[in-house]
Copies of this chain bind each other. A is one copy, B any other.
């Protein structure tokens, strides 16, 4: 009868699992921003990529993948959707070692509109987490982003 043993293991996982907590926090926080951005028909993720692209000039999917620690196929699809919406354009020069993506005028406009909504969500998140929480998030991010991608 490993029933009791199983309960102990499950309890240990529940009590200590980092992923469980990180994922919970992610769901709650992402929801906040997604809801705020809904009127603009853009989600947190794509808005984030757009911001990154805007700040990094012409970059390729590979750069996004490395910077945001996102699988290349994930980036590929997101870029594709963003292109379809007209927020970015791809300057592939046929001879494409890599691609060069640029934020379009529409993309820039979206960015400015999104800023207003972002501010609201950001405020709610701050209210929920408190200054300390926000600092924690920042530190966690710094810790992980400084480490190499374990491929």
Contact = CB atoms under 8 A, between A and B. Distances in A.
Given A10-B54, A140-B136, A44 B19 contact: yes
Contacts of A30: 19, 22-23
A22 B25 contact: yes
Interface in A88-144: 108, 111-112, 115, 118, 121-122, 125-126, 128-130, 132-134, 136-141, 143-144
B48 A23 contact: yes
Number of copies: 2
A137 B21 contact: yes
B144 A129 contact: yes
Interface string A19-32: 11111111111101
Interface residues of A, number: 63
A145 interface: yes
Contact of A25 (B5, B33, B44, B141): B141
A11 B55 contact: yes
A40 interface: no
Contacts of A26: 22-23, 25-26
B18 A29 contact: yes
A11 to B, nearest CB: 6
A145 B24 contact: yes
Given A19-B29, A20-B44, A29-B144, 4 more contacts: A13-B51, A18-B129, A19-B32, A21-B137
